[in-house]
Amino acid sequence: MSDGLSDRPDLTTVYVFRLGEAYDDLQPAFSVDGRDYTDPGAVRADVQAASRALHERHLIADYVVSEAGPTTPRTGLLSWPQWRARHIEGEEPIGVRPRPARRVTPAGWHEMGRWLEHSQRWLREQVAAAAAAVASGRVSLLSDMGPQRVSRGSVVLAEEQYRVDCNFLVVPPPGHPVPDALAAIAGWLRDSGWAVAEPLEKPTSTTVVATNAGHQIALVWEHRTHSVSLLGTSPTVDAAWFAQQQGQEGQADAADV
């Protein structure tokens, strides 16, 4: 971690250290608050000591820097000396595991990736085609980010879970009632093999949910708008499931021989 200390007014700077098992999934753990010090050098020394201690333990960590005045609220986190006394000197579990010396790609990982890519294409095509069932409607793709981790980050990749999502918006032409658009979309889905539930009516919205092979498309009409949002979601999967499927297929092949 870069110290970034030389040009900062250390006695009014707060360093919030964050820990986790992936760099995109870090949580605040402790802080070095310059307002607790009278010597700028002591602030720098504690930031450097904390950074070094985390690095030596192979923990995934960073820190976020902010400026604080006399009335700026405290973080509520342990200070570095308190955290060090509890988790390093007192050996209380830190709550996150260190990076392994060698990161292992689990069985089923690549199969999961290929399945997610296929699921993304198929789901996007299904949602787009359903939206296009509204005659003369204006269809917009709002999001299609590809496979996303939906579990906490883990130093053990086999523990992570993923899915794909996409979001389309269809605006019916002027004079075309939104309930008719919902019916057209639901009809296309039903004809294409989706199981379509009865509409869920609320005072401010109507939602229709369709499912197919673990995938879901939710049609949402916010009554204050003249549009329907189509939210497509795949099943949540992990590498272990694909590894198990591979193992079962291998056993079947061996039995056939």
Question: What DSSP string runs through 164-226?
Answer: -EEEEEEEPPTT--HHHHHHHHHHHHHHTT-EEPPPEE-SSEEEEEEEETTEEEEEEEETTSS
Output the pLDDT for position 248: 57
Same domain, 211 and 136: yes
* One-letter amino acid of 214: G
Collapsed DSSP state (helix, strand, coil) of residue 149: strand
Looking at the structure, do residues 36 and 122 belong to the same domain, yes or no? no
> Which structural domain, as residue segments, surrounds residue 202?
109-256
Cβ atoms 23, 58 nearer than 8 A: no
- Taking only the tens of pLDDT, the chain with its 257 residues reads 544 444 457 899 999 999 999 999 999 999 999 999 999 999 999 999 999 999 999 999 999 999 998 889 999 999 999 999 999 999 999 999 999 998 899 999 999 999 999 999 999 999 999 999 999 999 999 999 899 999 999 999 999 999 999 999 999 999 999 999 999 999 999 999 999 999 999 999 999 999 999 999 999 999 999 999 999 999 999 999 999 987 755 333 322 32
Helix (H) or strand (E) holding 155: none
On whether the CB atoms of residues 249 and 175 are closer than 8 A, the answer is no
The one-character DSSP state at 147 is S
pLDDT at 8: 57
Look at residues 89, 118, 144 and tell me which one is the last residue of a structural domain. 89
Report the distance separating Cα 94 and Cα 8, nearest Å. Answer: 29
- Domain tally for the chain? 2
- Residue 57 lies inside a defined structural domain of this protein: yes
At residue 105, the 3 state secondary structure works out as coil
Q: Would 251 be classed as within a structural domain? A: yes
Do 166 and 201 fall within a single domain?
A: yes
Nearest to 156 by CA among 117, 93, 102, 116: 102
Distance CA 207, CA 218 (A): 7
Q: How far is the C-alpha of 103 from the C-alpha of 158, rounded, in Å?
A: 11
The answer to whether residue 96 is domain-embedded is no
Instruction: Give the integer Cα–Cα distance in Å for 225 and 60.
Output: 45
Check: CB of residue 170 under 8 Å from CB of residue 232: no
Question: Is there a domain that residue 134 lies in?
Answer: yes
Query: Is residue 84 located within the same domain as residue 191?
Result: no
Q: Is the domain of 150 the same as that of 239?
A: yes
- Is residue 123 located within the same domain as residue 81? no
Do 52 and 122 share a domain, yes or no? no
Identify the CATH number of the domain in which residue 213 sits.
Answer: 3.30.2030
pLDDT for position 245: 86
Name the token pair of 128.
Answer: 């787009």
Question: Half-sphere exposure of residue 88, counting CA atoms within 13 Å on the CB side?
Answer: 16
Q: Does 99 reside within a domain?
A: no
Quickly tell me which residue has 């570095």 as its tokens: 80
- What integer pLDDT is reported at residue 251 of this predicted model? 33
User: In the listed set 39, 54, 89, which residue is the last one of a domain according to the structure?
Assistant: 89
**Shared-domain flag, residues 116 and 58:** no
Examine the domain organization and report whether 20 and 48 are in the same domain: yes
Which residue type occupies 24?
Answer: D
82 & 129 share domain: no
Residues facing residue 28 across a β-bridge: 18
Q: Is 95 inside any structural domain?
A: no
